[in-house]
Structure 1
Amino acid sequence: MADVILNVIISIMAGIASSYLFLMHFLNRKRVKIEISSHISKVSFEGQTNYFFKFINKTNAEIFDIRIEPTFYRQVGGVGGMNIQGKDIELKDNFISYIPCKKKSDTNSLHAMRVRTTEDIELNWSDASSYIRLTVIAKHSLSGFTDIFVRDFYSKDVITTKKFKSGDDLDVA
């Protein structure tokens, strides 16, 4: 009788362990993957200067509820040390409801997104301690997991008058 109970307990524990390992492997593959360009493209568009940021959905599924938050950070003096002060950069579109995954049949590269601001970034970039942090927050369509992706731009040298290349390429030409 003790052998039967021991075998049942071992079977239950093995089932739980294998289910846990399968789910962890399966769910880890159902996470958002986004790549953000290391460039900011300065382009004259609609009669005004625009600054473009580019990111690509590298996930094998659609993503949704995408929020894009660029923020200026600069050091300010505080009592006994330095602190960081943030100021939001207003985008023309800071929320995208849906981005598809990459498909061979997609000739428009809908998985690659560009967002823009008309704020004069170069004027607001006051000193060497200032930097821009671009944060992209998105949900995976199958698992519902939310992930956060961040790219910091530490120098004005990342601003270029070249345009972003099309598709998966995050470079400028």
Structure 2
Amino acid sequence: MTKVVLGIIVSILTGVISSYLFLMYFLNRKRVKIEISSHISKVTFEGQTNYFFKFINKTKSEIFDIRVEPTFYKQVGGVGGMNIQGKDIVLEDNFISYIPCRKKSDTNSLHAMRVRTTEDIESNWSDNSSYLRLTVIAKHSLSGFTDIFVKDFYSKDVITTKKFKSGDDLGVA
């Protein structure tokens, strides 16, 4: 009788440990990986000034339900100190349903995305206490895990009239 109970306990512990290791090792590796450029590209076309943000899907799998949220923050005075006030920046396309993973056969670099706004970011950037935050939220296609990636831009110096390079390069030229 003791051997039966001991066998059941060992079986349960083995199942719990193997499930834990599966979740921690396998599924934890199935997370979204996104890199965001340190530059904001200011390009004029069709008589309109556009500000571009670039990010790259570095995940070894597809990602979906991607939301991009740029927000302009500035300090405002409060009772007893300073607070931060946020103002959303409207993008021309802030929801992307699907981004593929990087493939050698992909000549169009579909895993690298650029989103744009036509709002005048430079005029809203009034002082040195202001900054812009770009948030990218995405889900992994296999695990379904959602991850959030944030890039803060603390100075107007990140805005450049150069265009983004193609592919995996987050730089400008």
The alignment's TM-score, normalised by the length of structure 2, stands at 0.97
SS at match of 2:21: helix
The one-character-per-residue Cα deviations of 1:67-96 (angstroms, maximum 9, x if unpaired) are 100000000001111000001111110111
Is the counterpart of residue 59 in structure 1 residue 59 in structure 2? yes
AA at the equivalent of 1:90 = V
Q: Take 1:70 and 1:171, find their aligned partners in 2: how far apart are those partners?
A: 19
Q: Take 1:119 and 1:3, find their aligned partners in 2: how far apart are those partners?
A: 73
The correspondence of residues 87-106 of structure 1 with structure 2, limited to 5 A, is 87-106=87-106
Q: Match of 1:76?
A: 76
The correspondence of residues 133-144 of structure 1 with structure 2, limited to 5 A, is 133-144=133-144
Q: Shift of residue 38 of structure 1?
A: 0.6
Question: RMSD value over aligned CA atoms?
Answer: 0.9
SS at match of 2:85: strand
Q: Match of 2:86?
A: 86
Q: Match of 2:22?
A: 22
Q: Take 1:136 and 1:102, find their aligned partners in 2: how far apart are those partners?
A: 18
SS at match of 2:8: helix
Q: Match of 1:149?
A: 149
Q: Take 2:144 and 2:121, find their aligned partners in 1: how far apart are those partners?
A: 34
Q: Match of 2:108?
A: 108
AA at the equivalent of 1:144 = G
Q: Take 2:27 and 2:46, find their aligned partners in 1: how far apart are those partners?
A: 44
The one-character-per-residue Cα deviations of 1:4-62 (angstroms, maximum 9, x if unpaired) are 32133123202220221022211111111110001001111222111100000011111
Q: Take 1:72 and 1:84, find their aligned partners in 2: how far apart are those partners?
A: 10
Q: Take 1:45 and 1:107, find their aligned partners in 2: how far apart are those partners?
A: 25
AA at the equivalent of 1:105 = S
Q: Match of 2:120?
A: 120
Q: Take 1:108 and 1:130, find their aligned partners in 2: how far apart are those partners?
A: 36
Q: Shift of residue 142 of structure 1?
A: 1.1
AA at the equivalent of 2:137 = I
Q: Take 2:103 and 2:143, find their aligned partners in 1: how far apart are those partners?
A: 20
Aligned length: 173
Q: Match of 1:44?
A: 44
The alignment's TM-score, normalised by the length of structure 1, stands at 0.97
**After TM superposition, where is structure 1 displaced by more than 3 Å over at least 4 residues in a row?**
none
Structure 2: unaligned runs, 5 residues or longer = none
